[in-house]
Structure 1
């Protein structure tokens, strides 16, 4: 309750500073009316969306996501203004003290707010505001194909040049543009990889979310098949189900949908891919995650039928599983494929220069390729989106990995 009160006070303070910035640079009342009108519309819509429909646990419908997205953009806008103008207020306060005690003046007078500072504040605040709006309009469907080549000394010769396409975190319950999704599915098929691996979170909460998209994703194809695992959202844990049976049936329905789309769902089990008398193992665990996430994954059970010398590809939705259990395991898992983080759907990436997102403070491995003890993990940035209905800087990802016979190279 205390945190909520502090948050409300902070929001009011930010709105006041936003008002002051606009008032400083213009005397036009319409600008102030417009500002308050936008604030009331955005905040009012959020409360309306949150309280006008039945609450089903932590289910966030697309329209509620958009309400949250607009509030997030407004919050970022006012936060920048507040930081700059509050800093100016500190300077103004000490300037007033100086004039009173450091000069011959007797009165305490705080200098007026400077128009230039307010202009700078509004200009800087417009950057995250516009970026978040762009992310909601265009960024969430700005699909990128990221290609990697990984070398392994012990890769079977027959699999030299073998291509894997990985997708993750579809979150079909968030989609609102069929044309964009069909384009992305075509883009996946254009990679013409040997095998397609999906690393969990097909839906946000309910199996029914995938029904409108079943035919679209059913068009995905790969020569050696399509394999999948479950993510934390696939279990329906965030819904207030009327009964345990309803929750169980939801998961069974999702399994059936995946089968109808041609996916081989691996539930703590394994399969072999064979080529020219040689083979590699595909291992799939159920979700295992630190920090309160579901721990249904059983690595020992999933690898029970695998030989120690097999070349192993592990599918595990949550990358926290990798350091916690996979790397120190008695088996050597050559390549682990994960997702889950979405790269927080927000960050800055300039290939070869910078890769940053606030999610790095939660997950050590959060996007791209990492290497420890000769074992690789790729953390896919996700196909879809959840919560904030957009992406800024961290774009939706389709990964294509080519396996090559050769000396391994360390990647940080």
Structure 2
């Protein structure tokens, strides 16, 4: 009887183990393969001189675990960024997981080639373990931080606005104050690390924003073949609503990137949540 049971159980066990091993190595492979995703953003608010501008958006680097720093993966991401055509770079926060990795991260990040119109950033929840240090390193690296601030990118007498807020969990995000003197006819890109903050933004402010760019959720990090993730509940109150991709709620756009890094139990893995560098290409209509 025992032999018969073992003949049934053993193949099932070995088959399941083989599937787990395959999934593990695929997850390692996916983590190391960054896609470049291009999105066209069409709007009548885009000034003529900004038609065709390429805006790079990246978030959630987090190439570190408690006892490791994945320098190779970070440099792979930097190479993808450097070899992708863009006019400006926007950073969505969460540069490291652990405070002790902040300095080595920014030492490597100095290798990023600054495009013509510079680099702008907000900070994420993980950056608050030593927020002052992160802000100092951003400044030293020549990156303009936009936590509850806005900046203008100008071409002649025309401009677009990049605005951002502090992290929802550990900061005091204030879209109303940031956009107070902004006109609805202005073209505004809004940065919020955590997409849940989109729920708290008033309609008057949303009318001023042409698109919100967020991250934080890593597209679920490890999903059930891209359909859903059992892990989103730990980082968002809204389940699958803001897990990944372009969303349009009452004609208000928000794009949630899958980000670049992240780790689980000290392992650098992604499963059907491929890391990405996003290019938002502006189109005047």
The normalised TM-score by structure 1 is 0.61
1:163 matches 2:54? yes
- 2:216 aligned residue (340, 349, 353): 340
Q: How far off is 1:399 after superposition?
A: 0.9
- Spell out the pairing of 1:5-404 with structure 2 (5 A cutoff): 113=5, 115-116=7-8, 118-135=10-27, 137-174=28-65, 176-206=69-99, 208-220=100-112, 221-236=114-129, 250-288=130-168, 293-325=169-201, 329=205, 331-347=207-223, 355-359=227-231, 362-388=239-265, 389=267, 390-404=269-283
Residue 113 of structure 1 aligns to a residue whose secondary structure is helix
Q: How far off is 1:172 after superposition?
A: 4.2
Q: How far off is 1:164 after superposition?
A: 0.8
Q: Would you say how many aligned residue pairs link Structure 1 and Structure 2?
A: 274
Task: Tell me: CA distance 1:294–1:151, structure 2 relative to 1, closer, same or farther (3 Å).
Answer: same
Q: How far off is 1:287 after superposition?
A: 0.7
The normalised TM-score by structure 2 is 0.86
Q: How far off is 1:125 after superposition?
A: 4.5
Task: Tell me: CA distance 1:172–1:305, structure 2 relative to 1, closer, same or farther (3 Å).
Answer: farther
Q: Deviations over 1:245-303 (max 9, x none)?
A: xxxxx322211111111210112010011123211110010012xxxx33521111222
Residue 398 of structure 1 aligns to a residue whose secondary structure is strand
Question: Which has the larger Rg?
Answer: 1
Q: How far off is 1:158 after superposition?
A: 1.5
Q: Is the 8 A contact 2:258 2:275 kept in 1?
A: yes
Residue 243 of structure 2 aligns to a residue whose secondary structure is coil
Q: Deviations over 1:183-204 (max 9, x none)?
A: 2202112222111000111121
For CA contacts below 8 A with separation 6 or more, give which structure has more relative contact order. Answer: 2
Larger helix proportion, structure 1 or 2? Answer: 1
What's the RMSD between the two structures over aligned residues?
A: 2.4
Structure 2: gaps spanning 5 or more residues: 234-238
Larger strand proportion, structure 1 or 2? Answer: 2
Task: Tell me: CA distance 1:231–1:330, structure 2 relative to 1, closer, same or farther (3 Å).
Answer: closer
Q: Pick which of 317-326 and 274-283 moved more.
A: 317-326
